[in-house]
Structure 1
């Protein structure tokens, strides 16, 4: 595989494209034969001398024909013939504007441990073609701007592979002599090769025919192993919910006669949006009360929605090149987030809708802060549209997805729901059936709203997390409050100077009584704003402020480096408390000297639920870091009192209270430390947890039994009650209460409560209790491969309360020999090995050299078998330069030694960046 650097600026249209493709597969796990017939078109202005270049990797070439004539290997320059190497097939001699190319190749699915292209999982055959897996199936111009109509014939042994699926609509099924059968599928819509899919396996479907908004009918199917049929119903219900939501919210109607989801156990990612035939990791399909938690149910709904929404934002309109990846992923993550928020709001009813939406927003921002902010400040820092790459698989990142979604949300905030919908309609109308760029999307938004969004494009070009620096002035006698806002983005690798971006800042002011104050700027008191005249081009600039004079929440927009806001008419006396970035209106780090008393005030009174949560988290963060630095030995009593009051406030949603009361995540806290000392931080977190458990001792009995009503059903309100009960169980366990864990584990009728009991037991000072329930859990789910991943994960992330340094590492290493663990299964590697290094860094650092040797061994093993998984494991330690000594010095030579031994482009690119990191201060 080539390792040359691919640059966005080097993009050129394809010299040859493909209009139609006919594929014929003779399927078998050992050797599959693939016959392809491509109708190729020469690009405009392309010389007759230019060969037809087809991507081809790990293919056993049998024959090649051009316009019906067999080709031989080219022996010299000029003339007809082909050249075949490790990465391409080049055909010489095509002189006409159109050409017919026919190839026959053999591939070997059982040997394909990379799980890219056509591979075996269990007894079935499956494909994964995004980003560049199709070239491992047949020679083809494997790039997203080559869109063709696919005609696919699948032939296989019927007993081994009774189900044969591909994209589009089923044309015919035929039984053949010798126990074989054939299925023919035709996709009516042109698509790039990365959206191709096939499945040959012993599966059964749960299905439902639905009426569509345009009067047609379509068949929805979820295909799983026969024994998993009872666990497929929630995925099917989620698919129909996503379909209905997209019809209502964006006017998008399903365009196929059937829509299929297939679950597979061996899969590098979460799911894939192949046109009409989505292939999913089983963890995002299978759900039942006994085998899935409340969080699993929510994740299934979100991922099913995400892949379905790709049908329009990704499939019908796709990317011109892989640099535009966020065009489909950032936009679709935003749509998925809105879908999940709307579904939650509908489930809980109008009285709790705002709270449900706030909980979803909190979860999304937690992911952004934990995964993307560190990425923005580490060796892999890149804009949401990267400028270059060696391996595109390395750029399926939190930046492209999560920050990309935040950038889409910025447009939604700036344009409003009506304006955003108008822009989406323009986008669909103009670019349906095309491969386009991020500029095309922003242009559609601008034109539909008559707004100049040219400055907005900097979000696509610039890496790094902007800092919003806030200073305040208060004139208590005049009731005049001034905010000085300033933004800057620190240097990032390859971008030493970064400019200002468009930042919408939604804010409010809290009075001494906790109520929101009306917001009027000094220049708004008597002035009647004149309508802004559009410039010569007919496009008006982004408005620096909303028109809601006197509202208690207003939106102001930084379009430059600084903005001063002077509010008047406020009650004289105590300074108001600012509530900044309400709803997290921009993906920034806020730099603001906020005293503890202001955090307490917002924690108690802020009408914006997100900011109320954020105040609680910010104050808790401050407390834990003071303990870590040795500045204090106990939590501040004022904080503890406010924490108890928030947790005990029954007027608040239960899930919100749990999220607000939980201590900030360890990964996020490490990012706020310079240098980062995982071991000292873990000690402070243990101490803080026990102190809070003691302080809330009178609260825990209230919620011990507020779990779900029987029988279990997934419902957001019930999920909140179960989460509150689980929180109480863990807090009591920290204090030595042990009967609750064992009794709940045995009595629970659902996995949510059973795992909550196990988690509480693992927090108990007596480690024997946790060991007993781990053993019971393993026995109960010994035959359930998917649920055992949760068992692996908990041991990988276990805190060693009293054990010797290295005890958790030794356990993880032993578990790699467990009968249920397979290095070839990504889910197992992620659950056990990746979780240990990514989410239990304190134990890794405490173990020292043996931990880094284990990381090296695992990375090198995966580098040779599955580089995509290997690169993800390598990235778990990408922030090593920020560690305190001696951890940093101990890891450095291991990184260098590993770097010298890797072979794959994917892992090499990650390790090179880790070694060359330019440290960016948080």
Structure 2
């Protein structure tokens, strides 16, 4: 949970759950209260507690008192572990011109909490009409329609909300603005997801629809691989991507995000048991097929965005332009050597670190050995800047190559690497283990053994770093059996080590 009841080693308290989920909890209060009441709550909070050491309860109490909104149930977000799940079904009655949403919330048991009470969950939503516009919403019992967006407070295990004056069947746009950190289960068809990608005005809902569509396609392709069938890309995904690339009036930063397929780490959370090689094969197949079919569109966008000689500017528009340009370049490089010169030109002519680093990364990702001269050049150029060299290590450690472990083992001995420097460890070992599934999850277990060796070495050098690295092995139960057994073996080996620090011991024992 965000606020654990107990811990063995204080350093293990500072996790992404505490920081990122903690931030989401505060944002949910903002969503529930609205801007004006949240401002009142902040003013009261500082008035009461400025200069004091305060608790989560103090913050929530100030918000509740200032807004006169009961947040007692909401405080379960601080004490209950796990990610809530919302299962939503819709039912449209054309004769009554109404849409019913049946909502069921649950939270799976966790080791310390077998049963959970219902959370207070803010669900922001809209209803998208066939013309692509959002309907003004009116719940049963209300005298008139409000705006096109509504925040529903989900408080019970099961609830039903009925919208009236709905002239025709609509598509729900759910969890707008990522209104709550929950898992959403709604049975969208692929065509409905394609419609939301094209028409939804909410950036997060649009992105989520794109991710869901891609995951649906990937799940079917995984089944085809397992059944030894020929792989084919779904036309609905091609259509969605083509429409995105052809649209002129769309935020460039959002478009870049929409064009990215779910990464392998996220796919592993959605498709279990985790078959590392199959997930990598399917995702690379999709990227290559999209690049081949939409080659002209990707190239046209890249050429339009790559303005040679344009001075570097650090503003939102130019940052978004670089992001989208580089996304297009990454797809073009999937087509082989014919676009390698494009990346080489960008690397040599770049007047900013973003473009130079990205060009180097896509060159490495597509042919590591052929990019050795560029890696050597980059090192010579930036060898006196330690933070930039972290990127140099990271780019090589994340190259999607089954044999990349040998390169990582060599880099550990590099003069610029220092095991006592946490940033260097995270840039090389951390990046390899957490962000290179095809290289780390080897069928011979060599990647796990490599990690185990350095966890034990770091155990005495820097227990906090060792504890962060060992978390990579903590999800071993989610993997397919060959990987699962090999990961468990390393955890057991670490657990038996004499003199194991409390930081690592706590995580390993919880994992086992």
Does 1:782 pair with 2:399? Answer: no
TM-fit CA distance, 1:769: 3.3
Counterpart of 1:417 in structure 2 is: 35
Give distance in 2, aligned partners of 1:748 and 1:441. 47
Give distance in 2, aligned partners of 1:847 and 1:707. 41
TM-fit CA distance, 1:847: 5.3
CA deviations over 1:854-895 (Å, ceiling 9, x no partner) = 111110011111001010011122111111021111222221
Counterpart of 1:178 in structure 2 is: none
Tell me the number of residue pairs that the alignment of Structure 1 and Structure 2 aligns.
Answer: 503
Correspondence 1:27-426 to 2 at 5 A: 383-426=1-44
Give distance in 1, aligned partners of 2:410 and 2:417. 10
Q: Which of 784, 791, 805 is matched with 2:392 structurally?
A: 791
Contact 2:368 2:399 in 1 (8 A): no
Counterpart of 2:210 in structure 1 is: 616
Correspondence 1:539-578 to 2 at 5 A: 549-572=145-168, 575-578=169-172
Counterpart of 1:829 in structure 2 is: 425
Does 1:684 pair with 2:282? Answer: yes
Q: Which of 443, 447, 453 is matched with 1:851 structurally?
A: 447
Give distance in 1, aligned partners of 2:7 and 2:438. 32
Contact 1:616 1:643 in 2 (8 A): no
Give distance in 2, aligned partners of 1:783 and 1:410. 44
Give distance in 2, aligned partners of 1:616 and 1:772. 38
Paired residue secondary structure (1:384): coil
Give distance in 2, aligned partners of 1:831 and 1:384. 27
TM-fit CA distance, 1:732: 1.6
Extract unaligned runs of 5+ from structure 2: none
Q: Which of 695, 709, 712 is matched with 2:312 structurally?
A: 712
Give distance in 2, aligned partners of 1:839 and 1:417. 37
> Which of the two has greater strand per residue?
1
Extract unaligned runs of 5+ from structure 1: 1-382, 527-548, 916-922
Contact 2:473 2:491 in 1 (8 A): no
Moved more, 780-789 or 497-506: 780-789
Paired residue secondary structure (2:109): coil
Contact 2:292 2:335 in 1 (8 A): yes
Question: Where in structure 1 do 4 or more consecutive aligned residues deviate above 4 Å?
Answer: none
Counterpart of 2:352 in structure 1 is: 750
Contact 2:443 2:482 in 1 (8 A): no
TM-fit CA distance, 1:449: 1.6
Does 1:585 pair with 2:179? Answer: yes
Contact 2:105 2:158 in 1 (8 A): yes
Give distance in 1, aligned partners of 2:369 and 2:79. 53
Counterpart of 2:55 in structure 1 is: 437
CA deviations over 1:241-267 (Å, ceiling 9, x no partner) = xxxxxxxxxxxxxxxxxxxxxxxxxxx
Contact 2:259 2:327 in 1 (8 A): no
Give distance in 2, aligned partners of 1:866 and 1:726. 37
CA deviations over 1:803-861 (Å, ceiling 9, x no partner) = xx4x2011101100000000000010000001111111221222532212111111001
Q: Which of 502, 506, 512 is matched with 1:905 structurally?
A: 502
Paired residue secondary structure (1:452): coil
Does 1:701 pair with 2:299? Answer: yes
CA deviations over 1:330-375 (Å, ceiling 9, x no partner) = xxxxxxxxxxxxxxxxxxxxxxxxxxxxxxxxxxxxxxxxxxxxxx
Counterpart of 1:878 in structure 2 is: 474
Contact 1:837 1:876 in 2 (8 A): yes
Give distance in 1, aligned partners of 2:67 and 2:298. 53
Paired residue secondary structure (1:616): helix
Give distance in 1, aligned partners of 2:379 and 2:301. 28
Counterpart of 2:511 in structure 1 is: 914
TM-fit CA distance, 1:767: 4.2
Correspondence 1:662-673 to 2 at 5 A: 662-673=260-271
TM-fit CA distance, 1:481: 1.1
Larger Rg: 1
Contact 1:734 1:763 in 2 (8 A): no
Does 1:861 pair with 2:457? Answer: yes
Give distance in 1, aligned partners of 2:287 and 2:203. 24
Q: Which of 487, 490, 507 is matched with 2:108 structurally?
A: 490
CA deviations over 1:243-298 (Å, ceiling 9, x no partner) = xxxxxxxxxxxxxxxxxxxxxxxxxxxxxxxxxxxxxxxxxxxxxxxxxxxxxxxx
> Which of the two has greater helix per residue?
2
Contact 1:679 1:846 in 2 (8 A): no
CA deviations over 1:554-603 (Å, ceiling 9, x no partner) = 1111122222111121224xx21000111111111001111111101101
Q: Which of 489, 501, 510 is matched with 2:119 structurally?
A: 501
Give distance in 1, aligned partners of 2:448 and 2:442. 11
TM-fit CA distance, 1:468: 0.6
Counterpart of 1:759 in structure 2 is: 361
CA deviations over 1:131-190 (Å, ceiling 9, x no partner) = xxxxxxxxxxxxxxxxxxxxxxxxxxxxxxxxxxxxxxxxxxxxxxxxxxxxxxxxxxxx
Paired residue secondary structure (2:296): coil
Q: Which of 169, 184, 188 is matched with 1:594 structurally?
A: 188
TM-fit CA distance, 1:713: 2.0
Give distance in 2, aligned partners of 1:585 and 1:676. 29
Counterpart of 1:842 in structure 2 is: 438
TM-fit CA distance, 1:550: 3.1
Contact 1:413 1:504 in 2 (8 A): yes
Give distance in 1, aligned partners of 2:210 and 2:487. 35
CA deviations over 1:738-776 (Å, ceiling 9, x no partner) = 111222211111111111211221243x54433332222
Flag the 1:900–1:490 CA change in 2: closer, same or farther, 3 A.
Answer: same
CA deviations over 1:514-547 (Å, ceiling 9, x no partner) = 1111211222248xxxxxxxxxxxxxxxxxxxxx
TM-fit CA distance, 1:478: 3.0
TM-fit CA distance, 1:640: 0.8
Contact 1:730 1:759 in 2 (8 A): no
TM-score w.r.t. the length of structure 1 is: 0.53
Counterpart of 2:326 in structure 1 is: 726
TM-fit CA distance, 1:899: 0.9
Contact 1:647 1:658 in 2 (8 A): no
Give distance in 2, aligned partners of 1:481 and 1:657. 31
Contact 1:384 1:403 in 2 (8 A): yes
Give distance in 1, aligned partners of 2:458 and 2:369. 34
TM-fit CA distance, 1:451: 2.4
